[in-house]
Amino acid sequence: MRKWIPQFTLVIALHLLFVTAASASEEAKLDTPLLSTNSAITLESLPSFKQVGKAQMKWLWLKIYQATLKTPNGVYQPNTWPILLELNYQKDITAKQLITSTVKDWERQNIKYDELWIKKLNEIWPDVSSQDQLTLYVDEASISHFFYNSQFIGLVNDVLFAPAFSAIWLSENTIKPVQRNQLIGITP
């Protein structure tokens, strides 16, 4: 009878360890950063990317920002990562306005989004001014990293976020199809 007690104890211990680790992993889905805001990573430390396309985004006659899409090989393929999307602002915009605009675009495109994404964006996105740059880097694991003027500011650790967020500019259902085509390299 004593032979099976150590084996049974080991099995129970391994089971508890596995269940605890799995539970902690689920709870930390959005909060476990691959990079922290204290990290020294900058855009310069990322792999090199080649420009796919560039587009000027306007509202009526007012220039809002210039967008540039980059990939490792300079070719865009839908929902293929990594990508780098740079937004160079030409107008002052509050973080609240950026988030409101993002949500409106998701709703317009009937894209399902998680309220936790909005909460995370509220935590990391700053107000932007003319000449500021906000950059999205989606890594090979589909994790979305954000940079403000080349400094890492935070991430959204949910693989569903990257396709939803990039759809604002890159989906066929975007509100700016001419600019989309410029970004993905269809037209100059």
124 and 144 housed in the same domain: yes
61 and 148 housed in the same domain: yes
Decide: helix, strand or coil at residue 156: strand
Note whether residue 37 is domain-resident.
no
Residues of the chain with pLDDT under 50: 1, 4-38
Q: How far apart are CA 166 and CA 150, in angstroms?
A: 19
33-79 pLDDT per residue, tens: 444 444 556 777 787 899 999 999 988 889 999 999 999 999 999 99
**Which two tokens mark 170?**
């890159």
Q: Please tell me whether the overall predicted TM-score, pTM, comes out greater than 0.75 for this model.
A: yes
**Which two tokens mark 168?**
């604002």
Note whether residue 57 is domain-resident.
yes
Of the candidates 30, 28, 24, which has an alpha carbon nearest to the alpha carbon of residue 115?
30
28 and 84 housed in the same domain: no
pLDDT recorded at residue 169: 96
Q: Per the structure, how many domains does the chain have?
A: 2
Q: How far apart are CA 132 and CA 95, in angstroms?
A: 13
Sign of the CA dihedral running 66, 160, 124, 106: positive
147 and 56 housed in the same domain: yes
Of the candidates 155, 104, 148, which has an alpha carbon nearest to the alpha carbon of residue 126?
148
pLDDT recorded at residue 67: 97
19 and 56 housed in the same domain: no
pLDDT > 70: what percent of the chain?
78
17 and 53 housed in the same domain: no
pLDDT recorded at residue 61: 83
| Contact by Cβ (8 Å): 156, 143 | yes
67 and 148 housed in the same domain: yes
What domain range is 88 assigned to?
Answer: 43-183
150 and 77 housed in the same domain: yes
Note whether residue 139 is domain-resident.
yes
174 and 97 housed in the same domain: yes
Note whether residue 188 is domain-resident.
no
Note whether residue 38 is domain-resident.
no
**Which two tokens mark 44?**
């310069």
